[in-house]
Amino acid sequence: MTIISVIGLQWGDEGKGKVIDLLAQEAEVVVRYQGGCNAGHTVIVGGHKTVLHQIPSGVLHSGRLCVIAHGVVVDPKRLVDEIEMLEEQGIDVAQQLRISSGCHLVMPYHQRLDLAAEANRGQDRIGTTGRGIGPCYADKVARVGFRMTDLLADAEDFPERLAARVANVQRLLEALDAGGEPIDAAAITEEYLALGQRLAPLVTDTATLLQEAVAAKRSILFEGAQGALLDVDMGTYPFVTSSNTGFGSIGTGAGVSPRSVDTVIGVIKAYCTRVGEGPFPTEAHDESGEQLRERGQEYGATTGRPRRCGFFDVVAARAVIEANGVDELVVTKLDVLSDFDPLRVCVKYRIEGRETDRFPVSRREQQRVEPIYEELPGWKQDLSSVTRAEDLPAEARHYLATMQELLGVPIRLVSVGADRRQIIDCRQTRLEPVPES
């Protein structure tokens, strides 16, 4: 293994945590480079479930160096909680984790701004995770944010700068009719400087560390968060997150040239889900949506919200596969589709009477998509203990072969359950469509 980037190809929750955990067996370094604690990467090992929000999922393998690079917005309080949760599990976080001094900090007022902005959006409510991610990235771009270094090397003028920023945020909250308790700049200063001291032994210049790792030809795994359809530029704007979720942001978010990546792996669920508001062309409003939610346990790992569910959307997937130059696919949750017969796959859109195989840019058009489905035969067998592609029912192999053909990218792995062991390696097996009898 060399340098691999793993990204989600839908609206997040594709099962990236498990895939990273598996690939991390062969990696020396695992890196998060965008997003923050809006992410919830679930890993189940021997029946024990761990949900990671900011720390790379590779941390569950001892000896892996895990890096939170500067493109991640860090909530230091929640990060300390996550570190302590892992330490209780016996993980040597001090040895395994490094955090960039350039990470922007999620401040307590970012969460208040997030909630206030949502309350003021009316019909345009995004359904954010409420973790302050959007306001933190907004402050970064507006050049009024605080970074990890402001709690350490640049701490001298932190209290003064924070007090000035808090005064402006207070006015903003009042204008949004979300005044509440006045923000206590002195209390935040004290709390954040203490958190800085707690995290200080882990903080370093990770861009240099990673550039050296690339030069030394160490194997590196870049762990994308959220999904490509939530990308602030390429996604269903404005119903997106506030970072670039594609593989290209490894350059800006980690300080490593995307050209050094050997393989881009796209993780894609065998059906679609979305949490929060926004266009979802194949959303199933009937009982099949409910069935997918219950069978797939589609509830948010970060917020517990029920996820919206629907059938597989080739048009949306193809758009992000092309934009990200995806080399291989990992298909997750195939087991959830047992008992759905027939299975529906959206192969084209109809928008105001016109057929297209392109994902529209206009939000009005995104909302008016009528999916055109192809029906595929389903299967009844339970797939959760299948470990070889040859042992899958012919209909399941046909489903995968159709996905592979329509997306134009080979399938590397198929996941059939949450545990590490519930995985099928497809690299040696030709997945061919089963001829109609």
Q: Is 230 one of the binding residues for ligand IMP (CB under 6 A)?
A: yes
CB of residue 241 vs ligand IMP: minimum separation in angstroms?
3
Q: Are 56 and 68 in contact (CB under 8 A)?
A: yes
Q: Is 246 one of the binding residues for ligand IMP (CB under 6 A)?
A: no
Q: Are 136 and 110 in contact (CB under 8 A)?
A: yes
**DSSP assignment of 280-311:** -TTB--SHHHHHHHHHHT-B-TTT-PBPEEE-
CB of residue 377 vs ligand IMP: minimum separation in angstroms?
31
Q: Which of 241, 244, 249, 338 binds ligand IMP (CB under 6 A)?
A: 241
CB of residue 40 vs ligand IMP: minimum separation in angstroms?
6
Q: Catalytic residue numbers? A: 13, 41
- Per the listing, tokens 């009316």 go with 122
Q: In whole angstroms, how far apart are CA 198 and each of 80, 81, 162, 202, 228? A: 8, 11, 20, 9, 34
Q: Are 346 and 356 in contact (CB under 8 A)?
A: no
Q: Is 17 one of the binding residues for ligand IMP (CB under 6 A)?
A: no
CB of residue 166 vs ligand IMP: minimum separation in angstroms?
22
Q: Are 40 and 131 in contact (CB under 8 A)?
A: no
CB of residue 54 vs ligand IMP: minimum separation in angstroms?
11
Q: Which of 226, 366, 402, 422 binds ligand IMP (CB under 6 A)?
A: 226
**DSSP assignment of 1-68:** --EEEEEESSSS-SSHHHHHHHHGGG-SEEEE-S--TT--EEEEETTEEEEESSS-GGGGSTT-EEEE
Closest CA to 292 of 306, 278, 276, 313: 306
Closest CA to 165 of 141, 190, 139, 147: 139
Q: Which is nearer to ligand IMP, 56 or 134 (CB)?
A: 134
CB of residue 231 vs ligand IMP: minimum separation in angstroms?
10
From the list 11-19, 65-73, 86-94, 163-171, the region that binds ligand IMP by CB under 6 A is 11-19
Q: Which is nearer to ligand IMP, 42 or 384 (CB)?
A: 42
Contacts 24+ apart (CB under 8 A), 376-381: 376/342, 376/343, 376/344, 376/345, 376/402, 377/341, 377/342, 377/343, 378/337, 378/338, 378/339, 378/340, 378/341, 378/342, 378/343, 379/337, 379/338, 379/341, 380/338, 380/339, 380/341, 381/338
Site for ligand IMP in 120-179 (CB under 6 A): 126-129, 131, 133-134
Q: Which is nearer to ligand IMP, 129 or 149 (CB)?
A: 129
Which tokens is 204 given?
């370093």
Q: Are 52 and 59 in contact (CB under 8 A)?
A: yes
Q: Is 275 one of the binding residues for ligand IMP (CB under 6 A)?
A: yes
Q: Which of 276, 279, 310, 417 binds ligand IMP (CB under 6 A)?
A: 276
Single-letter code of the amino acid located at 105: L
Q: Which is nearer to ligand IMP, 134 or 360 (CB)?
A: 134
- Per the listing, tokens 């040859």 go with 390
Q: Which is nearer to ligand IMP, 58 or 276 (CB)?
A: 276
From the list 10-18, 187-195, 315-323, 379-387, the region that binds ligand IMP by CB under 6 A is 10-18
CB of residue 354 vs ligand IMP: minimum separation in angstroms?
28
Site for ligand IMP in 252-271 (CB under 6 A): none
The most distant pair of C-alpha atoms in the chain lies apart, rounded to whole Å, by: 75
Nearest-CB residue to ligand IMP?
Answer: 276
Positive or negative, the CA dihedral 103, 51, 19, 414 is negative
Site for ligand IMP in 333-372 (CB under 6 A): none
From the list 8-16, 64-72, 139-147, 406-414, the region that binds ligand IMP by CB under 6 A is 8-16
Give 3-state DSSP helix, strand, coil % of the chain, rounded to 5. Answer: 40, 20, 40
Q: Which is nearer to ligand IMP, 242 or 415 (CB)?
A: 242
User: Interface mask (CB under 6 A) for ligand IMP, residues 28-67, using x and -?
Assistant: ----------xxx---------------------------
CB of residue 120 vs ligand IMP: minimum separation in angstroms?
15
Q: Which is nearer to ligand IMP, 308 or 398 (CB)?
A: 308
Total residue length of the chain: 437
Residues forming contacts to ligand IMP in the complex (CB under 6 A) are 11-13, 38-40, 126-129, 131, 133-134, 225-226, 230, 241-242, 275-276
